[in-house]
Amino acid sequence: MPSKHQVGGSNPSGHAISVKMKKLFENHISGTAFLERQRARRRLPNWLRISLPVIFLSVAFSVAAILVVCASWAYHHFHPDMPQLLASSGPITLAQGLILFSCFLIGITLSLPLSNIFLWLIPPVRRILDENAQGLPGASFKESMKAGMKALIFVALPSAVILFLGIWSPWLS
């Protein structure tokens, strides 16, 4: 009989984790929490329902654009003999791909808490969102900020490492 460390052996802790993840996914997507959030979104006034994704995407692309410009400047600083990052023509290089992809991911994850703070600063919007979030798990300002901070830790920090790797591009030296 193979041990649990050999190929084909059972891994009870891995199975327990996969069962927990499956239950979490089912509860979040197909469970009542997801449906309650959908109903809460439908209860929002039309102007707010339309403005939420517009604000989120505006902040996301603004942050990403600023990061791309700063990364382009830093890339040119590290590699003055190379053509400008944004002005080069032809196929995209590995460094350009890493920089653009990581700037986009950082922009998206930073826009979660930034747009949340922006909306919280407007008292009528804050009131509407607070009333709408009552009774919904994870929908309050504090809980959504926690989720945004988790996204920053698990997505933006690794993306920042990839961004610096793309800017530094040790394979070009």
Tell me the pLDDT of the chain (173 aa) as tens digits.
444 444 444 555 567 777 766 666 665 555 677 778 788 888 899 999 999 999 999 999 999 999 999 999 999 898 888 878 777 778 888 888 999 999 999 999 999 999 999 999 999 999 999 999 888 878 889 999 999 999 999 999 999 999 999 999 877 65
The model carries a pTM of: 0.76
Instruction: Tell me what pLDDT residue 34 has.
Output: 73
Q: Do 27 and 111 belong to one domain?
A: no
For every residue of 99-164, DSSP letters joined together read: HHHHHHHHHHHHHHHHHHHHHHTSHHHHHHHHHHHTT-TT-SHHHHHHHHHHHIIIIIHHHHHHHH
Q: How far apart are CA 34 and CA 105, in angstroms?
A: 24
| Residues 6+ positions from 25 with CB-CB distance below 8 Å | none
Q: Do 104 and 160 belong to one domain?
A: yes
Q: Do 111 and 34 belong to one domain?
A: no
**What is the span of the domain harbouring residue 80?**
48-172
Instruction: Tell me what pLDDT residue 70 has.
Output: 95
Q: How far apart are CA 30 and CA 100, in angstroms?
A: 34
Instruction: Tell me what pLDDT residue 136 has.
Output: 84
CA nearest 159: which of 90, 102, 98, 111? 102
Residue 4 lies in a domain: no
Q: Do 105 and 134 belong to one domain?
A: yes
Residue 113 lies in a domain: yes
